[in-house]
Structure 1
Amino acid sequence: MLQKKICMVGAFATGKTSLVSRFVNSIFSDKYQTTVGVKIDKKTVNVGDKELNLILWDLYGEDDFQKVRMSYLRGSSGYLLVVDATRHNTLEKAFNLQNRVEETIGQVPFILVINKSDLADEWEISNSEIDELRQKGWTVIKTSAKSGFGVEKTFQTLAYRILEG
């Protein structure tokens, strides 16, 4: 069976851990838990006729005091760049992180995940900004770890892009 490492990257409190919990265990908790270092989970997915074992590295969120340790990314086949749609500054942080990830591991498939679609009235990121990113060739998927919206699609899309690459 093929095995691929995927990293969850983004600012502090964007929902990376919640997305992994929803995807792996189909659960969501309102209790916020800060990731310390890295938390690793696994899930097997089917992509076409292939079984793929995803090793999910949930990296701690970057903030003003702590930068993501780029060495955690070594060996990654792809990553999810997670943004909290209710906090525009997490999108700016994502652009910075995306550049640093590429400098570290080169160009690998990634998806920009616009999380917290269940809080649409509180969004600070506009649809026109999202459209601009799509026009640049970025894959952008809106998700909600809380409701599960878009979560399966996100991981399946990344798995497919990793295998086709």
Structure 2
Amino acid sequence: MKAAAMIKKKICLLGAFAVGKTSLIERYVQSVFSDKYHATVGVKVDKKEIRVADQEVTLLIWDVQGEDEIQKINANYLRGSAGFFLVVDGTRRETVEVALEIAQRTVDAVGEIPLVVLLNKTDLEDEWELGADEMEKLSARGWLIARTSAKSGLGVEEAFQHLVVKILSS
């Protein structure tokens, strides 16, 4: 009997600069966290093999440079994506608006694909700026929202599992 072919899926982490995209990937792939900030230039690709619902899946995880007023995400990085994370920094309210803009441009570039919103930096909740208005802007879209901390690891593994399950069932 032939072994089932391994499934490969590309996922992207998108968001404003310094929201924790690289740290989330390092936590998920290598189980590490560094307090040092290193801006991603362009894109960095990591790989992780996982098992979901009795299927072997290879994730190609694209860490796309953060976006600001000057530097926008290159749509070419998004091509071929099976799903993506929109990462929001809970300590910076403006990252919600950036995420909403990125989501629209991503849909324009690659169509409707599964996404999960990550409210990152829950370890700094006493410094959070996100209120009911920002939460409503995100939840009104019907998106799955997960609270994560790259520092402690809270919710990171589960968020990746949720996205992969959504991808495999779409």
Match of 1:48 in 2: 53
Distance 2:138 2:66 in 1: 22
Among 60, 65, 74, which residue is 2:70 paired with? 65
Identity fraction in percent: 52
- Seen in structure 2, the aligned counterparts of structure 1 residues 89 and 43 have a Cα distance that, compared at 3 Å, is same
TM-score calculated relative to the size of structure 1? 0.96
Assess if the C-alpha contact under 8 Å between 2:93 and 2:134 holds in 1.
no
- Seen in structure 2, the aligned counterparts of structure 1 residues 110 and 153 have a Cα distance that, compared at 3 Å, is same
| CA distances 1:40-91 after superposition (whole Å, capped 9, x unpaired) | 0000111111111000000000012211101100000000000101000000
Assess if the C-alpha contact under 8 Å between 1:45 and 1:156 holds in 2.
no
| CA distances 1:101-150 after superposition (whole Å, capped 9, x unpaired) | 00000000000100000000111112564256335311000100000000
Match of 1:74 in 2: 79
Between the two proteins, the alignment pairs up a number of residues equal to 165
Structure 2 unaligned regions, length at least 5: 1-5
Distance 2:132 2:152 in 1: 20
Report the structure number with the largest CA radius of gyration.
2
Alignment of 1:1-165 (within 5 A): 1-127=6-132, 129-130=134-135, 133-165=138-170
TM-score calculated relative to the size of structure 2? 0.94
Distance 1:132 1:60 in 2: 24
User: What is the RMSD computed on CA atoms of the aligned residues?
Assistant: 1.2
The 10-residue stretch of structure 1 (93-102 or 44-53) with the greater mean CA deviation from structure 2: 44-53
Distance 1:139 1:127 in 2: 16
